Amino acid sequence: MGMRKKVKSAGEIITGKAKETTGKALSNKSLERKGKTEKAKGKVRHVLEKGKDKLRH
C-alpha cells in the first residue's frame, strides 16, 4: 500500500473515532453517526489497499 493512501485511511479512522466519541459525550447523534461513517470508510479503504497489495505481490 502506498504510504500516502495508508496515512489517509489511518487519518480517516482516527478522525472518525474522535467524532464518534465526541458525539457520544455530547449526546449529539448526528456527530456520532458522521464519526461512525467516516471510521467505516477509512477501514474499507484500508482493507481495499491491502488487497491490492496482495494481488501485486
* pLDDT at position 33: 97
Which residue ranges make up each domain of the chain? 3-56
Contacts of 6 (CB under 8 A, 6+ apart): 46, 49
Per residue in 2-56, pLDDT (tens digit) is 778 888 999 999 999 999 999 999 999 999 999 999 999 999 999 998 888 888 8
* pLDDT at position 45: 93
In angstroms, the CA 6 to CA 55 distance is 17
* pLDDT at position 56: 80
